[in-house]
Amino acid sequence: MEEGIVGKYIRQLCQNAGETTDFADNFQEKLEKDREIYDEFVSYLKTGNFACQAKVEGYSVVDVMVWQMDHFKARLDRDNSKTRGNRDGMLLYAFHTLLNMREDPQKYIRQMQGETGTDYPGKY
């Protein structure tokens, strides 16, 4: 896929998510350095579906999205307009988190296994 198309898609996602051009540039730079996650991102761009081929310590972008959705539901109560009903933002932040997991996987694994967006006893 042409690099320019990926860049345009990233800028559009960031704009729709309320992010800055600096965020978009940094995200694209980080994405281009990780071929496996880049290919997953391009696959999503082409098909609208997750291939779930790119993994960090066994976690895919879908796993990250599920974890973030739990937090998203909690944020709805606080009316966070940056993510409320923002599919592009959820997609962007899931890929962004997966890229960050490459640098410090244990930090995110601890969060994914221990933090939840809801606070009722016995959730697990």
Strand partners, 59: 56
Please report, as a single letter, which amino acid is at residue 43. Answer: S
Query: Torsion over CA of 26, 27, 30 and 36, rounded to 10 degrees?
Result: -170
Per-residue pLDDT tens for 29-56?
999 999 999 999 999 999 999 999 999 9
Per-residue pLDDT tens for 1-31?
566 999 999 999 999 999 999 999 999 999 9
